[in-house]
């Protein structure tokens, strides 16, 4: 029996994880979980999963739920996230919350020796160096849930590090892949949220369309696999059938394929190195799919992908700034405060504005994350929607 802490149980990855867990109740148990604001769904999950510890977003939700579930221990805010992550019985923490709030509970869990099934890519983008160092020191596995990284992880199994030539990350192109930059000026939130292949949370769906998501994934791959940026390539693959590939020295390519179903990488992160059938498997017939297409990425069309390589190579807190500015800008677009193209403008401006002079520590990175949010929030307030 594997005991799981599920951070972000009410979200898209959270829901898929609950499906995986419920399909094998004899193998998996969610002993602690967190959610932020969706108390209706949160309460439903508590009824179904009967966790022992629950982290919630506010004192008000805690008070309501304590009356209903007097036997459960509740925690609020950051304390609730950490409480769920380090809960004693937990073997593996599945980080399915959005944004850099994922860092603190992930680090806390690593420090007490819990394995991490990592969906929350923002954590690695912001603090990959420290997360990976702590994982090594505490002998903790970081198992990728992101489909591209799970694909690469699967392809790398049994390979000597020396054999690797490069990682090839595939990108679906997101909701606006067929629009020109000029056409992007007038797009709406509703159009942006209409992803061609994947059903996901709002923020990551916006990030897919701006190619921020792929940018974050490039930096995530750099830290997860210890691969230089010069050896990470991105190709446009509109079908989202090949989830990613590795190229080996001798010219061989290994690719991992499958339907667009997040249950597969989630389940593999929980069963690794074993595999189990997926219950209610989605249809997958290559003869129906017929053909797979790969195109080069246009860095002028998707400047946020180009910027990911720039901030990644600069290192230090540059990726933190890139991520923090995007978290504020993407959320502001979702809230109707800025237009679509302003997302990129604010991210670019935050990166240009930041001047790193010395090597940074983890606590400085956390401070820079906060400062960047404050600055971008101020810009948005002052300048508003263009
Ligand atoms: P969702 O928006 O669907 O869910 C986010 C979850 O985090 C919800 O449970 C939400 O709670 C909780 N949450 C939101 N804000 C906070 C906060 N400030 N503090 C604590 N908890 C919070 O996101 P996704 O499931 O789509 O994505 C989660 C992570 O996984 C992201 O990092 C994303 O990049 C990554 N990922 C997602 C994929 C997908 O298919 N969706 C694929 C690969 C990676 P509530 O709803 O109760 O407010
Ligand atoms: Mg992905």
> Tens digit of pLDDT for each residue in 139-196?
999 999 999 999 999 999 999 989 999 999 999 999 999 999 999 999 999 999 998 8
Q: Which helix (H) or strand (E) holds 375?
A: helix 362-383
Reported confidence tier of residue 128, pLDDT bands at 50, 70, 90: very high
CB 170 within 8 A of CB 208: no
Ligand nearest to the CA of 243: 2
Mark whether 302 and 353 lie in a shared domain. Answer: yes
In a domain, 79, yes or no: yes
Provide mean pLDDT across the span 75-81. 98
Q: Check pLDDT > 90 for residue 38.
A: yes
Ligand nearest to the CA of 120: 1
Mark whether 247 and 351 lie in a shared domain. Answer: yes
Q: Is the CB of 120 under 6 A from ligand 1?
A: yes
In a domain, 278, yes or no: no
Q: Is the CB of 200 under 6 A from ligand 1?
A: yes
Q: Is the CB of 8 under 6 A from ligand 1?
A: yes
> Tens digit of pLDDT for each residue in 258-285?
999 999 999 999 999 999 999 989 999 9
- Looking at residue 289, what is its pLDDT? 94
Q: How far is the CA of 90 from the centre of ligand 2 (A)?
A: 26
> Tens digit of pLDDT for each residue in 224-238?
999 999 999 999 999
Mark whether 180 and 137 lie in a shared domain. Answer: no
Q: Check pLDDT > 80 for residue 386.
A: no
Q: Is the CB of 11 under 6 A from ligand 1?
A: yes
Q: Check pLDDT > 90 for residue 4.
A: yes
Q: Is the CB of 176 under 6 A from ligand 1?
A: no
Mark whether 21 and 134 lie in a shared domain. Answer: yes
Structure tokens at 309: 């390589």
Mark whether 104 and 40 lie in a shared domain. Answer: yes
Q: Which domain holds residue 173?
A: 166-258+297-383
Q: Which CATH number belongs to the domain containing residue 128 in this structure? A: 3.40.50.720
Q: Which residues are annotated as a binding site for NADPH?
A: 10-13, 38, 120, 122, 201
d(Cα 58, Cα 384) in Å, to the nearest integer?
29
Which atom of ligand 1 is closest in space to residue 213's alpha carbon?
A: 34
End-of-domain residue from the set 111, 144, 177? 144
Mark whether 122 and 170 lie in a shared domain. Answer: no
In a domain, 160, yes or no: no
ipTM of the modeled complex: 0.99
Mark whether 125 and 182 lie in a shared domain. Answer: no
Beta carbons within 8 Å of 310's beta carbon, 6+ residues apart: 318, 351
What is the chain's alpha carbon radius of gyration, rounded to the nearest angstrom?
20
Which atom of ligand 1 is closest in space to residue 97's alpha carbon?
A: 7
Q: Which CATH number belongs to the domain containing residue 319 in this structure? A: 1.10.1740.10
Q: How far is the CA of 292 from the centre of ligand 1 (A)?
A: 30
d(Cα 96, Cα 115) in Å, to the nearest integer?
14
Mark whether 107 and 219 lie in a shared domain. Answer: no
Mark whether 119 and 179 lie in a shared domain. Answer: no
Ligand nearest to the CA of 218: 2
Mark whether 134 and 234 lie in a shared domain. Answer: no
* Ligand 1, pocket-test mutation among 38, 56, 64, 97, most atoms within 8 A of CB: 97
Q: Is the CB of 204 under 6 A from ligand 1?
A: yes
In a domain, 190, yes or no: yes
Mark whether 181 and 129 lie in a shared domain. Answer: no
Select from 194, 191, 203 the least CA-distant residue to 36: 203
Q: Check pLDDT > 90 for residue 198.
A: no
Which atom of ligand 1 is closest in space to residue 147's alpha carbon?
A: 43
Count: domains in the chain = 2
In a domain, 291, yes or no: no
Q: How far is CA 87 from each of CA 7, 32, 242, 353, rounded to the nearest angstrom?
A: 12, 7, 37, 40
End-of-domain residue from the set 144, 176, 200? 144
In a domain, 361, yes or no: yes
3 state SS of 255: strand
In a domain, 151, yes or no: no
Mark whether 96 and 219 lie in a shared domain. Answer: no
Q: Is the CB of 122 under 6 A from ligand 1?
A: yes
């Amino acid at each position: 029996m594997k005991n799981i802490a599920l951070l972000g149980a009410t979200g898209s990855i959270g829901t898929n994880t609950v499906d995986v867990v419920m399909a094998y109740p004899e193998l998996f148990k969610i002993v602690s979980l967190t959610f932020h604001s969706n108390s209706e769904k949160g309460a439903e999950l508590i009824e179904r999963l009967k966790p022992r510890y629950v982290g919630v977003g506010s004192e008000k939700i805690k008070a309501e739920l304590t009356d209903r579930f007097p036997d459960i221990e509740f925690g609020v805010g950051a304390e609730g996230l950490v409480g769920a992550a380090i809960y004693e019985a937990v073997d593996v923490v599945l980080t399915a919350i959005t944004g850099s709030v994922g860092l603190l509970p992930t680090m806390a869990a690593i420090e007490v020796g819990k394995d991490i099934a990592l969906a929350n890519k923002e954590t690695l983008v912001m603090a990959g160096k420290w997360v990976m160092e702590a994982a090594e020191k505490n002998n903790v596995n970081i198992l990728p849930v992101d489909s591209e990284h799970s694909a690469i992880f699967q392809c790398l199994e049994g390979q000597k590090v020396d054999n690797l030539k490069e990682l090839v990350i595939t990108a679906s192109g997101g909701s606006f892949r067929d629009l020109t930059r000029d056409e992007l000026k007038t797009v709406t939130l509703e159009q942006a949220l209409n992803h061609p292949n994947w059903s996901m949370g709002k923020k990551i769906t916006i990030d897919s369309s701006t190619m921020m998501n792929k940018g974050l994934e490039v930096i995530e791959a750099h830290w997860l696999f210890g691969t230089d940026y010069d050896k990470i390539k991105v190709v446009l693959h509109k079908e989202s059938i090949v989830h990613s590939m590795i190229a080996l020295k001798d010219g061989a390519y290994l690719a991992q394929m499958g339907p667009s179903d997040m249950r597969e990488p989630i389940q593999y992160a929980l069963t690794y190195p074993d595999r189990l059938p997926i219950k209610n498997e989605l249809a997958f017939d290559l003869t129906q799919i017929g053909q797979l297409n790969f195109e080069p990425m246009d860095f002028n069309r998707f400047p946020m992908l180009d910027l990911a390589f720039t901030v990644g190579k600069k290192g230090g807190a540059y990726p933190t700034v890139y991520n923090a500015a995007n978290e504020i800008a993407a959320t502001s677009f979702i809230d109707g405060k800025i237009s679509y193209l302003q997302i990129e403008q604010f991210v670019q401006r935050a990166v240009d504005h930041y001047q790193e002079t010395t090597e940074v520590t983890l606590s400085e990175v956390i401070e820079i994350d906060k400062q960047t949010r404050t600055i971008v929030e101020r810009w948005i307030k002052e300048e508003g929607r263009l």
